[in-house]
Chains A and B, each alone.
Chain A
Amino acid sequence: MKNRYFWQQWNREVVKGYVADLYQDTTSSSSGLLVVGVEYVILTLAVGDNFVNVGYVSVGTPFIATGTTPTVWSNGTVVVNTKLSAPVATELMNTTEMYFTYSYVDEGVYFVTSSKDLFTAIYGQRVQASISNANFVYDISGPVGQSVTIFPIADNVLVILTTDLSAEVDNVLGSNTQNALEILIYPQV
């Protein structure tokens, strides 16, 4: 009901928009100490390493470090700091009256979460989202470059996938070119 009220009040004859330049750079380590209270994720657990004593549950599942020193961390397991690895948005424009947060999910997979249920039409709004400047070149060795894909997976969640054309990879957004996310919201007809 709260969302319905928001949209009823908000839905006037004006196009509203959000534009932000995105940058993503993964912060990870394969040795050292963890910081208690910080969220990490392990995407591949090296054979022999053991992080259960610091809160690890399973690959892909984020965990809050409960200790600094894993039982065994000598086999190269990469631990990703999820907060520092999330895309960073430099907001260029936002007339939507809502805010957007970014989070790290998996290599090359990120969430954009809106503060209202934006990516559904049940309140009458129409939404168009686009991201600029994915690119590739084809040379004698084959195609190289990056692709960036966005699509909604929940009422308030948009997914960004970044690939090097063969697999999802990190460090694509904003690295070789600017990637601007644009969300336009059109009023009810």
Chain B
Amino acid sequence: MEDTVLLNALVAKLGAEAGKAAYDKIMAIKSRTVK
């Protein structure tokens, strides 16, 4: 499920493209660190 809050926050800070790339990386890490 998409985390809209985090995605919006990252896009606001980094811009659309870099924000989405950062979001994908964070979600990949989260899936391994949060159960």
A interface list, Cβ under 8 A from B: 41, 43-44, 58-62, 103, 105-106, 109, 111, 147, 149, 151, 153-154, 157, 159, 161, 163, 165-168
Q: How large is the interface on B (under 10, 10 to 19, 20 to 34, 35 or more residues)?
A: 20 to 34
> Helix, strand, loop or mixed for chain B's interface?
helix
Bound-state CA distance A147–B32 (Å) is 12
Q: From B9, B10, B18, B34, name the one whose CB has the most chain A CB atoms within 10 angstroms.
A: B9
- Give the total number of A-B pairs whose CB atoms are below 8 A apart: 64
Contact of B9 among A105, A149, A165 (CB under 8 A): A105
Within 8 A of A (CB), among B1-35: 4-14, 18, 21-22, 25-26, 29-30, 33-35
- Assess the A41–B30 pair: CB atoms within 8 A: no
B interface list, Cβ under 8 A from A: 4-14, 18, 21-22, 25-26, 29-30, 33-35
Bound-state CA distance A159–B9 (Å) is 13
Bound-state CA distance A1–B6 (Å) is 32
A62 in contact with B12 given A153-B22, A153-B25, A161-B29 (CB within 8 Å): yes
A161 in contact with B22 given A60-B6, A61-B8, A103-B13 (CB within 8 Å): no
